[in-house]
Amino acid sequence: MSNRIRDIRKAKGLTLADLAAACEPPTTAQTIGRLETGMRQLSLGWMNRIAAALKVEPASLMREASAAPAQIVAQLGASGPEALAAPREALLPSALAGDGPAPMVLSVTASAGEYRAGDLVWLRPLEAEQRARALARAMNRDCLVPRPGGRFAFGRLIESDASRVRLLPPDAGHKQVVVDNPAWIAVAFMLVRAI
């Protein structure tokens, strides 16, 4: 089992020093770093202290090695969706954990249509063996689709057939995007917006 302290800390926008200061009693950034990397054993006492400082349940700090975490795989900017240099783990609300492929997350960095900078669009990949039937349910919903060259297309699914999909980007005035034989299609199912 590995821990998720670093992922949760970064998702909350905290530095090592911030988390160390938030612990009760306060500790050092070096100690937090050692706990994150596993150089120091994460005891039950430390789990409770760090969880309280992060305002999460202690159990959420642990991750099974076999569990595939949800990942932020792309960001939506002024020029459209772009792949991240390296995917980042996204914190999955406990109510969404379950069977099936791990959700993907699109991070919005510039407002586009109904999406605002800072939004996280959670997407669920369609199961390959059920894609034909699932595409009918995905019609007129926002989808993320890979394109050649490591790029992505994001928009409302307006048409699909056996070999291609057509997406209407969220910004008004943009032309539809046609993607031939996408490797996968992920359908938006949740929008997380900070208030």
pLDDT exceeds cutoff 60 at 22: yes
Mean pLDDT value of segment 88-116:
74
Can you tell me the mean pLDDT for 61-76? 71
Under DSSP, is residue 96 helix (H, G, I), strand (E, B) or coil? Answer: helix
Q: Of 29, 108, 153, nearest to 5 (Cα)?
A: 29
Higher pLDDT, 119 or 131: 119
Confidence of residue 50 (pLDDT cuts 50, 70, 90): very high
Q: CATH 2.10.109.10 spans which residues of the chain? A: 71-192
The CATH code that applies to domain 71-192 is: 2.10.109.10
The strand pair at 142-147 and 120-125 is best described as: unpaired
For residue 136, list its beta bridge partners: none
Res 194: pLDDT: 78
Flag whether pLDDT at 77 surpasses 90: no
Q: What is the mean pLDDT of residues 51-70?
A: 75
Structure-token match 């490591």, residue found: 150
CA–chain centroid gap for 60, Å, is 16
**What is the rounded distance in angstroms from the CA atom of residue 9 to the CA atom of residue 15?**
7
pLDDT band at 68 (very low <50, low <70, confident <90, very high): low
Which 8-state DSSP code applies to residue 79?
T
Of 25, 24, 62, 56, nearest in space to 42 by CA: 62
Q: What is the mean pLDDT of the chain?
A: 84
Tokens representing 53 are 């400082």
The domain made up of 2-63 is a member of CATH 1.10.260.40: yes
Alpha-helical runs (H) found in the chain: 5-11, 16-22, 29-37, 44-54, 131-138
Of 65-69, 132-136, 164-168, 177-181, which gets the smallest average pLDDT? 65-69
- Give the pLDDT score at 55: 87
Q: What tokens were used for 62?
A: 């642990």
Task: State how beta strands 62-63 and 120-125 pair.
Answer: unpaired
Higher pLDDT, 59 or 1: 59
178 pLDDT more than 80: yes
Mean pLDDT computed over 144-170? 89
- Whether pLDDT at 130 is above 80: no
Q: Cα–Cα distance between 96 and 48 in angstroms, integer?
A: 24
In percent, the amount of the chain with pLDDT more than 90 equals 30
Portions of the chain given CATH number 1.10.260.40: 2-63
Report, as an integer, the average pLDDT of 118-124.
89
How would residue 95 be classed by pLDDT, with cut points 50, 70 and 90? very low
